[in-house]
Amino acid sequence: MIGYPLVRSFLFALDAERAHDLTLPSLSAAHSLGLSRLACSRPPDLPVSCFGLDFPNPVGLAAGLDKNGAHAEALAALGFGFVEVGTVTPKPQPGNPKPRMFRLTQHQALINRLGFNNDGVDQLLKNLESQSLPCPLGINIGKNKDTANESAHEDYLICLRKVYARADYVTVNISSPNTQGLRDLQAAEPLNRLLGTLLDERESLASQHGQSKPILLKVAPDLDQAGVDVIARVVETCAVDGVIATNTTIGRSGVESHCLAKEPGGLSGAPLTELALTTQRLLRTALPTDMPIVGVGGIVKGDHAADKISAGATLVQIYTGFIYRGPNLIAECVESIRKSIALDA
């Protein structure tokens, strides 16, 4: 981005969540004036086909930045190969009390405990009505905070039914550390029930809409080998279309001495790089060879994106690195992936 370090200096002088709330509307305003092309270097074309979709390049925006889908078109115009919005829940909810997002600037990291704050699935769909994206759109779905895990499948079903026609793919988020008990859904029995229910409903929706939309599962980076094996068995049994690895971590490795390290929430950014890559490698070994993985977590430079592709990911997503590095990180990641593929050829 032209002058992004200057822009970042201004934004980083603000509270993290306030800066977020200011940036996205400003980005949409700039896009409406046709200024998106001035914001950054456009990434080169590097087409990828995955779960039946065509991506102009393999670098996407992870869920969480545009929770309500109000700025998806403007974000896509920066050169992303795909954009994922959400996490969205059936009913609007405010999320956890503020402050709930913290920068660990010297570590290129964030800690957040937002708690699925969003305006609800109906508002997300209204926001998307007037937007047109030049790339696939993913919609990330979750459960409301006050919905018990025993009834979680009902929330996910509501969201799946509502977003099905608009989404190019749907991500099932069971791995945020900021909704109490959510990660318990990664255990074998509840995960099998949830995914089985959603995949059965997908068959019905595919008949109604004349198209079967991919369903992906987003998992935590804090899984041990046994947890990875459980997820691999369930997703293979249920015939999920892909896995997104990974969400934020509850660990604090690499930032233990920081004054904010004890803040509850998920840690993202550079300290997550190796943990997310390790978890992705474990999943790649455990999953069927033809099941795509979307690598996410700790990508703050192009080489990190290339490492994920080399370790078996088909696509990657960025979020915290995008906040620290700006839109030029997109092109840097695409170019690093292109060079890595050429070397491996």
- Hey, is 239 helix, strand or coil? coil
Neighbours of 123 (CB within 10 A): 15
CA pair distance 24, 55, nearest whole angstrom: 23
- Secondary structure, 3-state, 122-173: HHHHHHHCCCCCCCCEEEEECCCCCCCHHHHHHHHHHHHHHHCCCCCEEEEE
User: Are the C-beta atoms of residues 171 and 195 closer than 8 Å to each other?
Assistant: no
C-alpha to C-alpha distance for 54 and 37, rounded to whole angstroms: 22
Token look-up 């046994």 returns: 226
Kindly name the residue from 28, 175, 176, 340 that is annotated as catalytic: 176
Task: Mark whether 176 is an active-site residue.
Answer: yes
Catalytic positions, please?
176
